[in-house]
Structure formats: C-alpha cells, structure tokens
Amino acid sequence: MPPAHRARVIAHIAGDDLFMDRLTVRDVVAMGRYPHHRWWEWREEPTDRAAIDRSLIAVNMQSFAARRFDTLSSGERQRIWLALAFAQEARVLLLDEPTSHMDVRVAHDILTLLREQSHGGKAIICVLHDVNEAAEFADRILLLGNGSVLSIDTPSHVLSSSLLQTAYGIHMELVETASGALRVFPKG
C-alpha cells in the first residue's frame, strides 16, 4: 500500500511529543488532515476545518484549540492525539494505551467514544494495560504472556483465572458484577 494511501486508511497514534512545543492544539490536530492533501498543496479547506472541529468536540477539547500543546497535561495531550487520529478519518485506528494519564471518568468517556467509532464501521485496535477496561469495552481481546499469544477471543473466554495467571504471574480472580460486567482483581 503506498504511504499516502496507507495514511488515509490507518491512523497510528503512540503519543510522541516531538516538535510539538510551539504548536497550538488545533495545529496538532490539523496534522491528521495531511494525508488528504498533496504535500506541496497544503492549505486548510472547509472540509479540513470541519474534521478538525468535529474531532476536538469528540474528545471534549474544543475550548483548548488555541492553547499551546506544550502547556497541556499528559492526559490532555493524549486526548489531542486521539483528536488527530479522528481528524485523519482513517478506517483503522491503532492506539497505544489511549487512556493513559486520564482520570477514570475521562478514560470511560474515551473508551465509550472508541466503541461508538467501532460501531460506526471503524476498526479500533488498542493496547490496554488495564484488564478491566479491556473487559468492559473490547469485543475481542488478544492476551499476551510469556512472549506469546495466550488467547484471542471474547472477554468472557480470554479473561479466565488460569490465562490471567499465566499472563501476569499472579493469581487473579474474575468477578461478574450485578450488571453483568466482568471485573478482574489480583487474588491475595
């Protein structure tokens, strides 16, 4: 796949802050629009402005658009990286710990937003280190341990005590809440 086409199809966000110290939040999100232009013809079109605005609204950061990126907290920066991915309008999002540095409410909102994106036809592939976030939001989980894939399946199949113990090296307890949600806890 040629790089320009790949950039329109796949957004990979890993949160690298390189060269962002003087840019505004809006400028950072606007970088998601680069794949939609020839490199020598960049100028913001109305479709770009709309995509950038929608993306900032989606992550609830529209009021930060004029702020310098380097003044944001780590969690706020993470939300801006997600807005950049949304502005890119790719069909596949590859996300490395999209909820790192976020408080519980914001992380829940972001994972809910990602689930909505997946129901809208996007493929969302996330690295999550919080097993409970994966249990609540993932359709399928790929569990790694001991240098290999231990299981790829639905949360109810992957999150077994034995597989979790193999992956993490400690005893884990799986609990189903009254609402039917799965929760995982280290066991004494």
Place of tokens 């993932």: 138
Give residue-wise pLDDT tens across range 49-89. 999 999 999 999 999 999 999 999 999 999 999 999 999 99
CATH domain 1-127 topology: Rossmann fold (3.40.50)
Rg over alpha carbons for the chain, rounded to the nearest Å, is 18
Range 26-50 average pLDDT: 86
* Mean pLDDT of the chain, nearest integer: 91
Task: Compute the distance between CA of residue 11 and CA of residue 176 in angstroms, rounded to an integer.
Answer: 34
Binning the chain into helix, strand and coil, the percentages to the nearest 5 are 50, 20, 30
Q: Please say if the pLDDT value at position 115 is more than 80.
A: yes
11 pLDDT tier (thresholds 50, 70, 90): confident
Contact 93, 110 (CB under 8 A): no
The pLDDT, as a whole number, for residue 35 is 85
Q: What is the mean pLDDT of residues 116-143?
A: 95
What is the per-residue pLDDT for 138? 95
- Round to whole Å and give the CA distance between 98 and 23: 21
- β-strand partners of 92: 10, 123
Contact 64, 25 (CB under 8 A): yes
Check residue 155 and report its DSSP letter: H
The two three-digit tokens of residue 34, written as one number: 């680069």
Looking at per-residue confidence, does 20 or 168 come out higher?
168
- pLDDT band of residue 186 (cuts 50, 70, 90) is very high
Distances (CA, A) of 185 to 33, 91, 92: 41, 34, 31
Query: Alpha helices of the chain — where are they, by DSSP H?
Result: 3-9, 25-30, 46-58, 74-88, 104-119, 131-137, 155-158, 161-168
Q: What is the pLDDT of residues 163-183, one digit of tens each?
A: 999 999 999 998 988 988 889
Mean pLDDT across 18-24:
77
Structural domain boundaries in the chain: 1-127, 131-188
Rounded-to-integer distance, Cα 148 and Cα 75, Å: 30
The span from the CA of 85 to the CA of 94, in Å, is 9
